[in-house]
Amino acid sequence: MARARSHTEFEKMLHDYRLTTAEILYHIPDHPHILQTYLWQELDLAPKYPVLHRFLLFWERELDGKLHSVKVANVGIINPAELKHGSEFYIH
């Protein structure tokens, strides 16, 4: 089963899904003046981030901690090979 999931994640990466990390700040329910951090990480499609939006909707609907802010960063895992000036190649 894990193998099928990896294949699906690989296919997502080929379709420009990126590893997305969100730093979510939220108010602690019993002490609303105190903020807590939650880190979320998943493959998602920038710039609309549909997976993150579904998670945040779940959070607002099901969890008690009111959201304060969300900071998002992403990086492509599969990138085209880069050729930089000064690279050396040896062909036999």
Q: Name the token pair of 32.
A: 């609303």
Query: Mind listing the pLDDT tens digit of every residue in the chain (92 residues)?
Result: 455 555 688 788 777 889 999 999 999 999 999 999 999 999 999 999 999 999 999 999 999 999 999 999 998 877 666 555 555 555 55
Contact 72, 20 (CB under 8 A): yes
- The structure tokens 């579904």 sit at 54
What letter does residue 29 receive in the DSSP assignment? T
**Residue 77 CB coordination number (10 Å):** 13
E strand intervals along the chain: 18-28, 31-44, 67-75
